[in-house]
Amino acid sequence: MRNRHSDRRCDGVHRRELLHVGGLSALGIGVSDWLMAKQAQAESNATRHIDDSAKAQACILIWLDGGPSHLDLFDLKPDAPAEIRGPFAPIPTNVSGIEVCEQLPRTAALMDKVALVRSMTSPLGEHNFASHYLLTGYKPNRALTYPSLPSVQKHLSQSQTAIPTNIAITKPNGMIGSGYLPESTMPFIVQGDPSRPEFRVQDLELPAGMTPDRLTRRREFRNAVDELTRQTETRLAESGQSDSAFDQAFRLVQSSQARAAFDLQQESQRDRNRYGRHLIGHGCLMARRLVEAGAKFVTVTDRGWDTHEDIYLRLKEGFTGGTAGKIPKLDQAYSALLSDLAERGLLDSTLVIVMGEFGRTPKLNLRGGRDHWPGAFSVALAGGGIVGGQVIGKSDAHGERPAERPISPADLVRTLYHLIGIDGDLELNTADGRPVQVNRDGTVIGDLIG
């Protein structure tokens, strides 16, 4: 009865349910503080804090939603008993001493560009909580919802380019949210599967007869309706300077160059095949185009990694007798992205992250799957100032816990902030004037960045 090939995660919860946890103490502010708080948020908005000389000018996150198995991707345990080591064998890479899954041959050939962290560890084994931790650097808290890294970057970024700053290809994990920051820092979501022949980002061209003047007038009228309706009403989420989805869309449709970045038809068949004709492949291809066009953070979401059953089938074959499971597709897309970025001279300035919310249980379960396991898991980082060809940390013999150098999601996220030029100690203000550090509990992983 189980839906074996579902991309759903086991909990089936809508991500916004967790976003709603912002709870009883959301009101932590006195009446008299109100105006000062608003002022403070406006000021913190006015002074931007991104170091322009940072190595990583852009970031591509390949999010493996559901929790990828560390033991079947980047941290194999060939010496462990069969019920732990699982169905795959390791293969050597182009860096001696580093091995990865046999299903990742193309990635193995690029290992000199990739740094693996094998000692990630977190106490949170529920999808939403764990995703929140990985994407924001904070454990979820009933009282305050934290913004994800791309929203913080958008918030602090001054550029108002025709290409949106923060883009998600396919609907992202619900924890990629704006938290206490304005909703306008949310990603621009490209819906649908870009590898489908009929796919295109719809409605990019202005309708016949629509002049730029009328477009401008429509924009003004729309803003007037809302602003005049509100008068005294203050929208918390939209306080301060905001660059709404509408504003971003208006800029986008008026720039043919920016619109073209979404058009995969402009890629050669060779390149489209190189990335692979599947969601993650074409998602990565589009991500590269968007970064080239000036996007700062592109999230490519690949679902279906919540492999509670039939791990071999789902990771290797996809369906019985198939050759297109989760790992071969990832291998193709990821290796194409890294080598393409390198060929174009963009890898040094583009940070590429591969991760999901946690790892999987060392012991295979009765259904041939692995359940949630946050105790030890791996992430892969490349480009944008990362020193490749190395492994940071180590998990124990069965991949249960870090054996050396435990690294928390807070540490990882702080390192990512550092690479994109944001100081983790920087304080942001919530709408009600509460100062919150960009990152509170993390330490930069020095070896990763040389």
Which of 226, 404, 425, 427 forms a contact with other proteins (CB under 8 A)? Answer: 226
Binding residues among 407-426 for other proteins as defined by CB under 8 A: none
Which of 372, 382, 415, 422 forms a contact with other proteins (CB under 8 A)? Answer: 372
5 near other proteins (CB under 8 A): no
Which of 5, 142, 196, 344 forms a contact with other proteins (CB under 8 A)? Answer: 142
Q: State the amino acid at position 90 in one-letter form.
A: P
Stretch that binds other proteins, among 49-57, 121-129, 287-295, 413-421 (CB under 8 A): 121-129
Q: Which is nearer to other proteins, 82 or 366 (CB)?
A: 366
Q: Tell which residue, 7, 281, 58, has the closest CA to residue 171.
A: 7
403 near other proteins (CB under 8 A): no
**Both tokens of residue 420?**
């994109």
Q: Which is nearer to other proteins, 272 or 308 (CB)?
A: 308
Q: Tell me if 291 sits within 8 A of 384, measured CB to CB.
A: no
Q: Which is nearer to other proteins, 85 or 113 (CB)?
A: 85
Minimum distance of other proteins from residue 108's CB (angstroms):
31
Stretch that binds other proteins, among 104-112, 249-257, 287-295, 340-348 (CB under 8 A): 249-257
212-230 vs 245-253: helix axis angle to the nearest 10?
170
245 near other proteins (CB under 8 A): yes
143 near other proteins (CB under 8 A): yes
Q: State the amino acid at position 258 in one-letter form.
A: A
Binding residues among 159-178 for other proteins as defined by CB under 8 A: 164, 167, 171
Q: Which is nearer to other proteins, 52 or 203 (CB)?
A: 203
32 near other proteins (CB under 8 A): yes
Torsion of CA 22, 24, 26, 29, to 10 degrees: -170
What's the chain's length in residues?
450
431 near other proteins (CB under 8 A): yes
188 near other proteins (CB under 8 A): yes
Q: Tell me if 145 sits within 8 A of 177, measured CB to CB.
A: yes
Binding residues among 383-402 for other proteins as defined by CB under 8 A: 401
The residues with which 59 forms a beta bridge, in sequence order, are 297, 351
What residue ranges in 86-243 does DSSP mark as E strands?
90-92, 99-101, 114-120, 166-169, 188-190
Minimum distance of other proteins from residue 317's CB (angstroms):
21
**Both tokens of residue 378?**
């791996």
Rounded CA-CA distance 231/217 in Å is 21
Q: Which is nearer to other proteins, 158 or 202 (CB)?
A: 202
444 near other proteins (CB under 8 A): no
266 burial type by CB count under 10 A (0-12 exposed, 13-18 middle, 19+ buried): exposed
53 near other proteins (CB under 8 A): no
Rounded CA-CA distance 247/262 in Å is 18
Sign of the torsion formed by the C-alpha atoms of 81, 87, 90 and 91: positive
81 near other proteins (CB under 8 A): no
Strand-pair category, 402-404 with 394-395 = antiparallel
Q: Tell which residue, 241, 244, 242, 239, has the closest CA to residue 432.
A: 239
**Count of chain residues binding other proteins (CB under 8 A):** 90
404 near other proteins (CB under 8 A): no
366 near other proteins (CB under 8 A): yes
Which of 249, 426, 444, 449 forms a contact with other proteins (CB under 8 A)? Answer: 249
Minimum distance of other proteins from residue 34's CB (angstroms):
6
Q: Which is nearer to other proteins, 133 or 334 (CB)?
A: 133
Q: Which is nearer to other proteins, 109 or 319 (CB)?
A: 319
Binding residues among 33-52 for other proteins as defined by CB under 8 A: 34
Rounded CA-CA distance 235/242 in Å is 11
Binding residues among 255-314 for other proteins as defined by CB under 8 A: none
Which of 39, 94, 159, 234 forms a contact with other proteins (CB under 8 A)? Answer: 234
Rounded CA-CA distance 439/137 in Å is 6
Minimum distance of other proteins from residue 381's CB (angstroms):
25
Q: Tell me if 45 sits within 8 A of 240, measured CB to CB.
A: yes
CA angle 170, 162, 300 (to 5 degrees): 20
13 near other proteins (CB under 8 A): yes
